[in-house]
Amino acid sequence: MKLNLEKIPVLGSKFWKELGGKIPFWVMDDAAKGLMQDNQQKLWYKSAQYKKYKANEMRKFGRGKKKTGKGDKLSGYKAVSTDTHTQFVNMKLTGQMLNSLGVVEEGDTYVDMSFKPEHAGKIIGNRELGREIVGLNWKNIRKAKVEIIRELKKRQIEFIPKNIVITVGK
């Protein structure tokens, strides 16, 4: 039987695209729990004013001189659903930035992922405040390793028969 060993470490673009499809969900799940991709967690908002606006669905505080009722949404947030969680930073005001993470390119041995370019300012601004969402934290690296090992084991079973007999001289 001929073993084609060079195919074992090359997992193929299909595998990497599938793995790349799982990673955004891991990052979003972490963000919802306040876990950043540099392993920091439960960070606090640095602006009390931003925190108040976020808790108020990015609305003005009431209408008229007496500020009664719910105010109108701020101009950048009209017709956009907003997250009101303010216990800790979850990076999900509108969810658009986190939802934009996706596969840019995949090959036989890699996957490249990126956020959409229009979110670069938010990513850099949050990085300057100590909130990192680019890259993978230890938990997500471990998940990726498990997926890779699972695929390697699956491929090993495909290429290597269960019983291998090696006879050395007689």
Nearest Cα to Cα of residue 95 among 153, 148, 32, 142:
32
**Residue whose token pair is 């960070």:** 43
Q: Where are the domains of the chain?
A: 5-44+88-159
Report the amino acid identity of residue 56: N
The per-residue pLDDT string of the chain (170 residues; one tens digit each, 9 = 90 and over) reads 344 445 456 788 999 999 999 999 999 999 999 999 999 998 988 899 999 989 988 888 877 777 767 788 888 888 888 888 899 898 988 889 999 999 999 988 889 999 999 999 999 999 999 999 999 999 999 999 999 989 988 877 666 666 655 556 55
Cα(53)–Cα(75) distance, integer angstroms:
13
**pTM for this one?**
0.79
Helices and strands (H and E) in the chain: how many: 5, 2
